[in-house]
Structure 1
Amino acid sequence: MPSPPAAPVRRSRAAGTGLALALLLVLAAFALPVLLDWETWSRASRSAHPWAAPPLHGFWEPKLVGPGTAPTLLVALLGWAWFPRFAASASWGRLLAVSYVLALAWMLSLALVDGPEGISRVLDHSSEYLPSAREVDDVPEMLRTYIDRIPYSHPDNWPTQAAGHPPLALLFFVGLVRVGLGGSLAAGLVVTVVGATTVVSVLALVRSLGAERLARDAAPFLVLSPAAVFMAVSADAVFAAVLAAGLALLARAAVSTGRAWLPWSVGAGLVLGSGVLLSYGMGLMGLVALAVLLAARSWRPLPVVVAAALVPVLLMALAGFAWWEAYPVLTERYWEGIAADRPAWYWMWGNLAALAVSAGPLVGAGLAHAARRARRSPDGRPDQRPEARPDTRIVALLVLGAVLAVLVADLSRMSKSEVERIWLPFIPFLTLAVALLPSGWRRWGLALQIVWAVLVQHLLYTSW
């Protein structure tokens, strides 16, 4: 009998290498600052807080159990033992509904390991949006003076989060305050409920592009991602949800026939343009948007999407906030603050370690495996192996877009530290790489991701 082809072994070997590298990167990022007495200024000086835990913005605070531990373990068991089979066979509508409910339960149960404070404490911090939102009583005036209040030199300068983002992020919380949801617990619940929609949008996007099989394979990893530790009550979860929704609309626009593509394109542009007004860095999601169009093999929506995306940006400029004027001012403030003390030689790779903590180490295996599968044959022709099929190409392009966005963000040095939450919008698209792993890897790999999330939540105070 002929021996089986060696390719699957090599692919598994690539995945194993990727997993090992991700784990070594995380270990080095945590251990070397302690062993070599490096000052990374991830949260504060280690002399001020000896249990600081770079590369994360937080510190070590192990806890055996908390109020949310039992629900977390219940969701984890249900998600590992039952959900993959359900995701493979359920109707599409039921899969989306259950994915949303399970993702929300996962986020809330992990946050509640720290009790109700796990949901409320972050948003009530003086550097966050909510305290600033409660003080806003004149929105037009706020917009007219927004840029003036970014520099440290202004006597009434914005706190960190409001200064570091365009005003739509703050306006979201102003809206919550105006409708009676301005308490930290209520606002935290709203943020978590919105953030959980990210999974639904990403699944819908992948299916629209024609890769339903891989969307189903990816669903358990998107739902039970370790990023849930940082998604719950982080405003960046809202940013992730908005951008994912915009990209899902873009996918529909790209594959629609007849005249339907036009309204989908307008909707995608409006949502994606609003995303840029939530966070300066979300312009990098344009790389994922290009990947969506490449995967769909259609550039028809692009002009309409770009024109529609400019609408919210220009309307905000007419109201007093010009994105292109604000960004240079923010850059000056950024380098006047703690960013100047954070050593680039550590954070250029420490950021990637923080990303691995948030996304989970199996994503490293998925990325390495995807890179291996994308390799062309030695004679330069496209790979003709059975797995080199259209749905694989679609997912690989989406993953590549997210990888490029992360690399640009890292090289810009505008994201030194705190990327475990800042890069949350990129993580679902990186996680899609896990769907390309062999089925055996996915089974135990899902358990690894779940255990990783539980350990991060129980060992660390993550500041988010």
Structure 2
Amino acid sequence: MIRTLPSPARTRESEPPGRLRRDLYAAGAAAVLVTVAVVAGRHIEDTSRTLFVDWPPLLASWGPHVGPGTPAAVLVAVAVVAYGPVLAARLPWRALLPVAWGTSTAWILSLALIDGWDRGIARRLTTRYEYLQVIDRFHDIPAALRDFTQHILLDSPDNWPAHIAGHPPAATLTFVLLDRIGLRGGGWAGVWCITVGATACVAVLVTIRALADEAVARRAAPFLVLAPAAVWMGTSADAYFAAVAAWAVALLALAVTRGSLGWAGASGLLFGLTCYLSYGLTLVALIAAAVLVLGRRGVRERPALLLPLLAGLSVVPVVFTVAGFDWWEAYHLLVTRYAQGAGGIRPYGYWVWANLACTVLVTGLATAAGLRRAGAALVRRRPAPRAALRLAFLVFAALLALLIADLSGMSKAETERIWLPFALWLLPACALLTRPRAWLTAQAVLALLLNHLLLTGW
């Protein structure tokens, strides 16, 4: 029997005062990290111009503005802060999930519309770096897949634009197929990424409920909905990637806790697709490993679950390999392209820590405080509630994946969108916080300031 976390009302009275003070210290340290990254980055960019971003550590430029999405964004923020914790606690579970998805969609969409429909959504995926630029080159899909690796290097003929070269072809094929079914242009592509990307919060909630307990998932729901990450989920293809990866993890959690061969097969299929959407998402395997550890009883009781999982995992790689695309060759060519100077030779010494400042801006100060609590739950001498321990284990698996991605040096800058698939799994740590409305307010204010003061690249 999993012991649930106490309610916010009870915890506020019984909690030692020092715990909230330590939360504020953690949030303050995160704010200092961002400040140092901004100041140091501004100095480096002004003197040597090697960061290749206008407002380090973000790919953004200073430009205070309002737009048609401003009233809606403020309204969504106020509604979630005021009613989110109560509704998350009281709604039937089956009602909570679609409400979370709908509210997340509204939050992402309204933030995007602060920049207007054209700049905020319709043109995001049509720039010279983006997927829609090469739709016509995929008129013969099998031929395009066979020749895909021939156009990755900068000195190759008709080399792919940055994002096409930087990802396996399943990413581009998504937008090619949308075009084929009549959903053409940047508007439809943007709506696709927002609508699908918003489901990621539902996938995370399903996972937490399966592996920790429902009370913890309900506490996490408002923070997943009102995440500052929404600034970059509308509109970025990485939001879509994040949702696919999150559902792969969620279905695995359902498979191991319910002994379902069908969920295991579906999870494997999505994990395979995830690896062909982005090379870096192979690190989602660490989150999957955490799910298997937390659900090891189910795996022991029904080891046959691993068979459909592995079978599903092999489908997408086999299809692409038979079609002529070599994942490993493409990855090594991409590394060579980076060495050739694609995107500029950005200094590792700055980005290896400034990337973490980006993550603070994506996940918010509340997540920094939540991670402190999650860490304390894992190391404290007095045992924490089992649900808190299981949540902390899952969150730190995602943090480990993010840190490995950081140390690898493959992601230097633009991690505010690239790391969305990992950052979303840090947000549930906020379920461990008391005073949720105060922390939610901090999250909402951060997102609104970012979107109103900066013109972001995504």
**Fold shared, TM-score > 0.5 on shorter chain:** yes
Letter in 2 for 1:68: G
Matching residue within 155, 168, 171 for 1:153: 155
**Residue in 2 that maps onto 1:168:** 170
Deviation per residue, 1:339-395 (Å, 9 max, x gap): 562111100111001111111122111111211221142xxxxx33xxx12211221
Contact map agreement 1:40 1:54 (CA 8 A) in 2? no
**Residue in 2 that maps onto 1:380:** none
* Distance (Å, rounded) in 1 between the aligned partners of 2:172 and 2:392: 35
Relative to structure 2, which stretch is displaced further, 227-236 or 365-374?
Answer: 365-374
Residue 248 (structure 2) pairs with residue 249 (structure 1): no
Report the secondary structure of 2:228's partner residue: coil
Residue 438 (structure 2) pairs with residue 436 (structure 1): no
Q: Provide closer, same or farther for how the CA distance between residues 193 and 7 of structure 1 changes in structure 2, counting only shifts above 3 A.
A: closer
Residue 24 (structure 2) pairs with residue 16 (structure 1): yes
* Distance (Å, rounded) in 1 between the aligned partners of 2:69 and 2:48: 34
Q: CA deviation at 1:153?
A: 1.3
Contact map agreement 1:291 1:397 (CA 8 A) in 2? yes
**Residue in 2 that maps onto 1:410:** 406
Aligned length: 440
* Distance (Å, rounded) in 1 between the aligned partners of 2:342 and 2:332: 17
* Distance (Å, rounded) in 2 between the aligned partners of 1:38 and 1:267: 51
Deviation per residue, 1:381-434 (Å, 9 max, x gap): xx33xxx12211221111011110011000000000000000001122101111
**Residue in 1 that maps onto 2:448:** 454
Matching residue within 142, 145, 154 for 1:143: 145
Contact map agreement 2:351 2:412 (CA 8 A) in 1? yes
Q: Provide closer, same or farther for how the CA distance between residues 41 and 6 of structure 1 changes in structure 2, counting only shifts above 3 A.
A: farther
Matching residue within 223, 227, 230 for 1:228: 230
Contact map agreement 2:63 2:455 (CA 8 A) in 1? yes
TM-score (normalizing by structure 1): 0.91
Letter in 2 for 1:15: D
Identity rate, percent: 44
Contact map agreement 1:42 1:418 (CA 8 A) in 2? no
Letter in 2 for 1:163: A
**Residue in 2 that maps onto 1:133:** 135
**Residue in 1 that maps onto 2:394:** 398
Q: CA deviation at 1:337?
A: 1.9
Report the secondary structure of 1:366's partner residue: helix
**Residue in 2 that maps onto 1:90:** 91
Report the secondary structure of 1:82's partner residue: helix
Residue 453 (structure 2) pairs with residue 463 (structure 1): no
Gaps of 5+ in 2: 1-11
Contact map agreement 2:137 2:144 (CA 8 A) in 1? no
Q: CA deviation at 1:264?
A: 1.3
**Residue in 1 that maps onto 2:52:** 43
* Distance (Å, rounded) in 2 between the aligned partners of 1:102 and 1:417: 29
* Distance (Å, rounded) in 2 between the aligned partners of 1:33 and 1:279: 27
* Distance (Å, rounded) in 2 between the aligned partners of 1:235 and 1:252: 26
Q: Provide closer, same or farther for how the CA distance between residues 303 and 400 of structure 1 changes in structure 2, counting only shifts above 3 A.
A: farther
Deviation per residue, 1:118-163 (Å, 9 max, x gap): 0112111010001112432110001000011111111111000000
Gaps of 5+ in 1: 45-51, 378-382
* Distance (Å, rounded) in 1 between the aligned partners of 2:99 and 2:329: 43
Q: CA deviation at 1:186?
A: 1.7
Letter in 1 for 2:402: V
Letter in 2 for 1:24: V
Letter in 2 for 1:278: L
Contact map agreement 1:402 1:426 (CA 8 A) in 2? yes
* Distance (Å, rounded) in 1 between the aligned partners of 2:253 and 2:346: 39
**Residue in 1 that maps onto 2:3:** none
Q: CA deviation at 1:235?
A: 0.2
Contact map agreement 1:112 1:119 (CA 8 A) in 2? yes
Contact map agreement 1:66 1:114 (CA 8 A) in 2? yes
**Residue in 1 that maps onto 2:201:** 199
Report the secondary structure of 1:429's partner residue: coil
Q: CA deviation at 1:303?
A: 5.0
Report the secondary structure of 1:407's partner residue: helix
* Distance (Å, rounded) in 2 between the aligned partners of 1:56 and 1:21: 19
**Residue in 1 that maps onto 2:9:** none
Letter in 2 for 1:313: P
Relative to structure 2, which stretch is displaced further, 419-428 or 306-315?
Answer: 306-315
Contact map agreement 2:151 2:165 (CA 8 A) in 1? yes
Contact map agreement 1:288 1:401 (CA 8 A) in 2? yes
Relative to structure 2, which stretch is displaced further, 298-307 or 107-116?
Answer: 298-307
* Distance (Å, rounded) in 1 between the aligned partners of 2:289 and 2:22: 27
Contact map agreement 1:58 1:460 (CA 8 A) in 2? yes
* Distance (Å, rounded) in 2 between the aligned partners of 1:431 and 1:413: 24
Q: CA deviation at 1:262?
A: 1.4
Matching residue within 316, 341, 348 for 1:344: 348
Contact map agreement 1:11 1:372 (CA 8 A) in 2? no
Letter in 2 for 1:91: P
Letter in 2 for 1:276: C
Contact map agreement 1:363 1:431 (CA 8 A) in 2? yes
Q: CA deviation at 1:34?
A: 2.6
Residue 325 (structure 2) pairs with residue 321 (structure 1): yes
Deviation per residue, 1:39-79 (Å, 9 max, x gap): 464435xxxxxxx101111211111x211101111111111
* Distance (Å, rounded) in 2 between the aligned partners of 1:361 and 1:5: 23
**Residue in 1 that maps onto 2:370:** 366
Q: CA deviation at 1:255?
A: 0.7
